[in-house]
Amino acid sequence: MTKVEEIVSHLPMQPLDDPIPVGQLYFPDWCDYEQAMRGIFEREYYNNNGPLVTALEKQLENFLNVKHAICVSNATHGLMIAAQAMELTGKVILPAHTFIASAQSLLWCGLTPVFCDVQKDGHHIDSTKLEALITDDVSAIMAVNLWGGAADIDALEKMASKHDIKLYFDSAQAFGCEYQGKKVGGFGDVEVFSLHATKVLSAGEGGLICTNNDELANKIRSIRPSYGNFEKVAIEKVANSRMSEAQAAVALLNLKSYKDYQRNNENIYNLYSKRLSSIPGISIVNPEGVTLSNFQSLVCSVDEEKFGCSRDDLLNILKHFSVLARRYFYPGVHKTVDFEHYGYKLPNTDRLSNVAIQLPIGAQVEKDVVNFICDVIAQTHEKSLCHG
Amino acid sequence: MNKKTSEELAVFGGRPIFEEFKSTSNLLKPDVEKFLNYSKTFYAQKHYTNNGPNVRLLESRLASFHNTKHCVSFSSGFWALALVIKVLAKPGKTEVILPSLTYRRMTDMIAWLGLTPHFCEVDEETLAMCPSSVKSCVNENTAVILGVHPIVNCSDVESLELIANECEIPLVFDSVESVYESIDAGKIGAFGEAECFSLHACKLFNGFGGGYLTTNNSELAKQLSSMRTFGFVGPDNIEYSHGVNAKLNEMHACMALASLDDIDAQVADNKARYYQYRKGLASLKGFSLLEFDEAFDSGFKNIVARISDAWPFSRDETVRILNAERVLARAHYDPPLHTKLNDNEYLACDLSLTESLATQFINLPCGQKVSCDDIEKIIDLLRFIENNADQIKQLMPRMTEHD
């Protein structure tokens, strides 16, 4: 019998009836969805920058207080379009503790990623390590805002300015967060959000590119490409990455409920925090560097020695109980198929990829589900000590 | 049509013959109840994207529709093509053979792959890529042959397959406008290594947006299914290089399924529209319809006509006059792709025929929002233009101010 099987055999609870994914999975009520879809069918305007996409972009500009919010079919395309619009060349510095799409977007643009380690005591790019990586052929820094937190934006902006290189943010997870009281979205040259179903603002699938730079916005709209009123500019190639009216309809409805979603996430986060803080070896990652978080992700680190079993064992135990926790990001991007041959040594990234676990938060997580998950974790700790 | 004098043409300030624009986009409107019924499945399962229940159902039904082993859906036809060429391009080779008289975004797609277009010539009568020209373009740098079907009827699939086999070069079809078509050897979808289709709202299957690929190559289908989802083959395992997000979401899959449910009725309506045009255009001198080959299945979606010297106006003049009347006729694949690139960005054989053909053809309004009565009005308008050609020509200097 494996250690996981042994611990599971000693836990008294039964698996949940329905598997619980990590989240966010907010979606409008059926009645609102049906009404919005019937409206699209009545207008017979399905794609190509229709009225709902236009309305969504306007509302997002107001919500995020940015000059230009440009919706695209997904955030990976958003990052690719941003890199094209900024005419990046050569190398781009980014963390390896990120979702694979950050680095893949560079490959598709013919750019070479330069991986920077994350902070020793945090999950974001270590701005103190940047300068040593900035060579003549580096054209940009892509910082990543993770887990409802943000990177050290001030330091990054200073560094980019000092070296006259572009700075853009993969803010896939950061919609609604505030940095020093200002909404994430208007920092650097460009920010890209994800409107994927797993994000706090969902369009089912979707992406959002924000900038305060008029010239860049025209390029981004041309690359997307777009119809409507904007100055079309010469570009190298389009990306065929428009958001449909159906995607926009869902995002508009979700945007209306954003405050409720954020509050719900925060309540779940607080309950997790209260319950897990007393379990040795489990540490919740607090939203880093922000004055307001969307509490998009509930991430913990597992100290095997103190907790009694490894992160991977805990993951499998939770899976047995239909809790679909994930080990984000494992492995670090620098160790995946397209990048492992670079041979990067990133000790902080490697450490995080071996201890971080993401727990469910969002639409499908009721208070009793949080308590159930925390019970499983607490009792796993107790049984691990007994059976370790 | 109620125009009595040439001055009443909208291009000279008169009232357009249509209140609503009549476009060349298909804009199929499937049954909203069917769409909502499909939506209930993903809503109940809370599965909004990432290979959800409707995406799986759509792929299975499209594979059956095209008589292929596999169908893989994508966020667009553009990215379906980009990914399959990424996989199939011969290692170290740089050129993609395709026609220049084709969809305006094709070279953009090739540019994302870092490859170079090598343009072949097309056939004067069918507008399909000319096999002998394709063969002349094959060289030691050829990575892929992109067999693009024209928007009326199909390319010479058999000849293209022969060339591809003989030269050992992968052949991929862009079959975006050939969803419903068949050829001697069977239904479009199973030829070459793979065939790519679009689910954009203007196509035969309206999926809001999206695309799909059909193939009988199981390994290719597996790899592309993974690459459209960042290359993942398990929760933490990335097996394939150059993944990206090119997934179709559930709402779009529901729309495509509802479109698929309606397809036979839509094709019957398209056929009626096509017949209406055929009858009407036959009476116009110098305006000849590109006819569908009715020996095989056809979607009858696109209406393309050649404007010859016997017609009193150039193609572009005709487009301007029609557009002013809210008849959104379009120049057919003009300008050809090679004319939009710098000389160092492409290779080509002699494309003088392509350049000439690009000035001759016109796409006329089609699809669900164009009724047979509308077509009658369009034909009447064209007849009016023909009958009043001399007077219209005299007035033409006034066109610009009213455009």
DSSP annotation string for A82-97: HHHHTT--SEEEEESS
Q: Does A35 lie at the interface with B, CB-CB under 8 angstroms? A: no
Instruction: List the single range of A88-102, B155-169, B302-316, B387-401 with lowest mean pLDDT.
Output: B387-401
3-state secondary structure of A120: coil
Position B1 scores a pLDDT of 74
Contact map slice: A 329-358 vs B, CB within 8 A = 330-331, 336-338
- Nearest chain A residue to B37 by CA distance is A34
Average pLDDT value over all residues in chain B: 96
Tokens in use for A63? Answer: 């919500």
Measured CA to CA, the distance from residue B88 to residue B182 in angstroms comes to 25
Q: Which residues of B touch A204 (CB under 8 A)?
A: 48-49, 249-251
> Which tokens sit at B334?
């003009």
**Alpha-carbon dihedral angle through residues B247, B248, B251, B257, given to the nearest 10 degrees:** -150
Q: What percent of chain A has pLDDT over 70?
A: 99
Concatenated DSSP letters of B287-318: EEE----TTS------EEEEE-TTSSS-HHHH
CATH architecture of B6-28+262-398: Alpha-Beta Complex (3.90)
Our CA-based measurement puts residue B115 at a distance from the nearest CA of chain A, in whole angstroms, of: 12
* d(C-alpha B140, C-alpha B388), whole Å: 56
Q: Known catalytic residue: B247? A: no
**Residue from B86, B203, B247, B301 carrying the catalytic annotation:** B203
Amino acid at A323: V
Helix (H, G, I), strand (E, B) or coil at B21: coil
Identity of the residue in A25, A77, A104 whose CB atom sits nearest the CB atom of B230: A104
Strand-by-strand arrangement of the A282-284 sheet: A282-284, A298-302, A356-359
B114 in contact with A at a CB cutoff of 8 Å? yes
Tens-digit pLDDT profile for chain A (388 aa)?
A: 899 999 999 999 999 999 999 999 999 999 999 999 999 999 999 998 999 999 999 999 999 999 999 999 999 999 999 999 999 999 999 999 999 999 999 999 999 999 999 999 999 999 999 999 999 999 999 999 999 999 999 999 999 999 999 999 999 999 999 999 999 999 999 999 999 999 999 999 999 999 999 999 999 999 999 877 788 899 999 999 999 999 999 999 999 999 999 999 999 999 999 999 999 999 999 999 999 999 999 999 999 999 999 999 999 999 999 999 999 899 999 999 999 999 999 999 999 999 999 999 999 999 999 999 999 999 999 998 876 5
Q: DSSP readout, A280-344?
A: TTEEE-PPPS-SB-----EEEEE-HHHHSS-HHHHHHHHHHTTB--B-TT-S-GGGSTTTGGG--
Alpha carbons B332 and B355: distance in angstroms, whole number = 12
A323 touching B (Cβ < 8 Å): no
Residue with tokens 């990001």: A329
**pLDDT digit string (tens) for B24-65?**
988 889 999 999 999 999 999 999 999 999 999 999 999 999
Closest C-alpha among B237, B394, B246 to residue B313: B394
What per-residue confidence (pLDDT) applies to B403? Answer: 53
> A interface mutation test: which of B242, B245, B342 has the most A CBs within 10 A?
B245
Residue A208 DSSP class: E
Stated pTM of the model: 0.97
Write down the pLDDT at residue A192: 98
Buried b vs exposed e over A256-288: b needs ≥16 C-beta within 10 Å? ebbeebbebbbebbebbeebbeebebbbbbebb
B-chain residue closest to A24, CA distance: B46
Q: What is the DSSP letter of B7?
A: G
3-class secondary structure, A239: coil
pLDDT for position A230:
83
Q: Determine contact: A110 vs chain B, CB below 8 A.
A: yes
What's the DSSP call for residue A277? T
Residues of B in contact with A38 (CB under 8 A): 32
Least Cα separation, residue A244 to chain B (angstroms): 6
Give the tens place of pLDDT for each residue, B263-278. 999 999 999 999 999 9
User: Among partner residues A48, A197, A336, which is closest to B49 by beta-carbon distance?
Assistant: A197
- Break chain B into its structural domains and give their ranges: 6-28+262-398, 32-258
Closest partner residue to B209 (CB to CB) among A73, A363, A364 is: A73
Bridge partners of residue B99, in order along the sequence: B120
- Residue B284 to residue B318: CA distance in whole angstroms: 13
* CATH T-level topology, domain B32-258: Aspartate Aminotransferase; domain 2 (3.40.640)
SS3 B33: helix
> How wide is the angle at C-alpha A334 spanned by C-alphas A118 and B48, nearest 5°?
90
**Tokens read off for B138:** 């094959």
Tell me the three state secondary structure of residue B357: helix
Q: Is-contact A28 A254, C-beta < 8 A?
A: yes
ipTM over 0.90 threshold: yes
How close is the nearest chain A Cα to the Cα of B63, in Å? Answer: 24
Name the residue facing A364 among B46, B241, B244 (closest C-beta): B46
* pLDDT digit string, tens, across residues B64-107: 999 999 999 999 999 999 999 999 999 999 999 999 999 999 99
